[in-house]
Amino acid sequence: MKNLLIIIIFLSIACTGQEEQKLTADIQEYPDPVDTRTRDIEYQSRGITEVGDVAVSNDFPAARLNSFEQVNDTLYRVTVSPENTPINHSPWYAFKIWSDEDKTVNIELNYTEHFHRYPPKVSSDGESWTELDSTVVRLAPDSVNAFLRLEIGPDTLWVAAQEIQDHRRVGEWTREQCENVIVECGEAGMSAEGRSLYFIDITKGEKVDKPAVIIISRQHPPEVTGFLAMKAFVETIINEGESNGFLDRFRVMVYPLMNPDGVDLGHFRHNTGGVDLNRDWAEYNQPEVRQVADHMVRETVLNKNEVLLGLDFHSTWEDVYYTFDESLTSKLPEFTSEWLNRIQDELQLDDINEQPSGLGQPVSKSWFYQQFKAESITYEIGDRTPRDFIKVKGEVSARAMMDILMKD
């Protein structure tokens, strides 16, 4: 009897271990692996710097300003450098500036080894932003540094590469969505510095036995335009997915801020582990990807959801869709072509700018296919795409997705 009891306990432990293994993301292999082990980063020194009667501050979430100095009577230099190198060319900057009296100042944005990418935005409150008029922005002859003419005074002027959408602001938006009865909020885990990895769960009624669509955003901190498109996309699903019947049949899982530490620390690209999170979808060396990937698997396994589609919202130089080429066949082999055709027709676009590829590096698009055999698309919005068009494009894309999936 004692031996039988030992055998039963052993089998129970073994079965439990197997079940736990099924609830975590699989280690993946890719043709072009990337080393995503943690590397050192350089933190900014935060505070207020005063030079004569002009002061700047980088003491707020998403700020990036490494030094501030006066070059001559009218020119001041703001230096911004990345958290570590090598790094993708995404020179983010954000700071506040003011002076004792109203005056005009010239600011040089010095990017060290990088060059100007993001047209400066200004704000009086950090919430409403306007792109600085091109007449007061000029590039150096080598197009590396930029020079801005600013009107400043005792009231604070915010200056940033893109609108600030930090962890707090994304959290406020997340909670607003969860005021709807078809939406639940939670978290997939915590970042390395203890910030919530927000999770939005959207469906009507029970989530069990429903096909799933998974949406992620902000693996890279400066990519605000992709986040704005994601917001419009998700809000359209919430606002229209109940009345059109989509949410009766489908579950939508959203992870709106994958890299909260990088965002709040004002990083160019990486997390606090000094790694591009969108290269870590193989061995999950970074805690943010590890926890979100496991959360996706655990949630869909426990609730018997078949993942059909994964969408990852990003920003780059122009609007583009990174898709699968003909070497890969997913669960929705006809979806992408029909979806992109619908978007192109409804927005009356001359070109949809699709760039297909097979498996390459360990990015999220490939991971959705590897883990779930799901169709997957990286949805990129240009740095300078007009904000009203971003919103319309997100809405049209969401409606087209729901219509196509509802036909099956």
- What is residue 8's predicted lDDT score, i.e. its pLDDT? 38
The alpha carbon of 328 is separated from its chain's Cα centroid by a whole number of angstroms, namely 25
- What is residue 348's predicted lDDT score, i.e. its pLDDT? 97
Q: What is the pTM of this model?
A: 0.94
pLDDT tens series, the chain, 408 aa:
444 443 333 444 444 444 444 899 999 999 999 999 999 999 999 999 999 999 999 999 999 999 999 999 889 999 999 999 999 999 999 999 999 999 999 999 999 989 999 999 999 999 999 999 999 999 988 778 999 999 999 999 999 999 999 999 999 999 999 999 999 999 999 999 999 999 999 999 999 999 999 999 999 999 999 999 999 999 999 999 999 999 999 999 999 999 999 999 999 999 999 999 999 999 999 999 999 999 999 999 999 999 999 999 999 999 999 999 999 999 999 999 999 999 999 999 999 999 999 999 999 999 999 999 999 999 999 999 999 999 999 999 999 999 999 997
Q: How many CB atoms neighbour CB 41 within 10 A?
A: 18
d(CA 392, CA 43): 38
At residue 223, φ and ψ (nearest 5 deg) are: -85, 65
Of the candidates 343, 324, 344, the one whose C-alpha atom is nearest the C-alpha of residue 334 is 324
Which domains does the chain possess?
Answer: 48-160 (2.60.40.3120), 167-407 (3.40.630.10)
d(CA 165, CA 61): 9
Instruction: Identify whether the C-beta of residue 231 lies closer than 8 Å to the C-beta of residue 176.
Output: no
For residue 260, give both structure tokens.
């909260």
Instruction: Identify whether the C-beta of residue 265 lies closer than 8 Å to the C-beta of residue 63.
Output: no
At residue 315, φ and ψ (nearest 5 deg) are: -130, 150
